[in-house]
Amino acid sequence: VTQDLSVMTSTLCALALLVAVPVNALRIGAPRALGTASARATVIRAELPPLEDGTACAALVASVKAAPSEITFAESIKAIEEDYECLEVPFTVGAVESAAGKNMGSAKILSLGKVGGLSAEETLALFGEIYRGVVSTPEGDDHPNIRAFMACGWDGVSFPDGVALASLECDLDRPENCS
């Protein structure tokens, strides 16, 4: 039954990719809309440098490579928020669509994985105990973004408006300074 479920999930993921994922879906530094109808609802271009030594995210990535089973979700989110401005952007994982501002934990972690050049396995480890719980309940239906990412990997991830991270130097009230 588990093997049948895996085949069905992979098939659904492949179909979702044919329908939902544009060719340029994983643009880093691509324009992204911010906010709602407020003054922040403008388009910016956030140029993200590679992870720098001495940053919280660089330490997190080193930890995930050395001891992935010891990472916690809270420590991943803390490191990301320490190093980046987090943007509310829509994203899709397989057939799972998340509107801007929804499932922000997944948006942040998947964005860091993409920016940091992490493998799918390393990125999943950043979800910490949540990922380990999903693995222990393969028949479950909780945490659909994680489950879809487990099935589809990076091929199933789309950030049509760009990733959910911007440089801390980016003044979100003056987006012209972010390019």
Domains in the chain, CATH or no CATH each: 2-178 (3.20.160.10)
**Looking at residue 176, what is its pLDDT?**
60
pLDDT score of 58 more than 60: yes
Share of the chain above pLDDT 90, in %: 60
The sign of the dihedral angle between the CA atoms of 128, 17, 96, 85 is: positive
Tokens 């992935």 found at? 68
**Looking at residue 53, what is its pLDDT?**
85
pLDDT score of 16 more than 80: no
Q: What are the phi and psi torsion angles at 121 (to 5°)?
A: -65, -45
Average of per-residue pLDDT across 13-21 = 42
Residue-wise pLDDT for 22-54, tens only, equals 323 333 333 344 443 222 322 333 456 677 888
Residue-wise pLDDT for 59-81, tens only, equals 999 999 999 999 999 999 999 99
Tell me the CB-side half-sphere exposure of residue 79, using CA atoms within 13 A: 26
- As a whole number, the mean pLDDT across the chain is 78
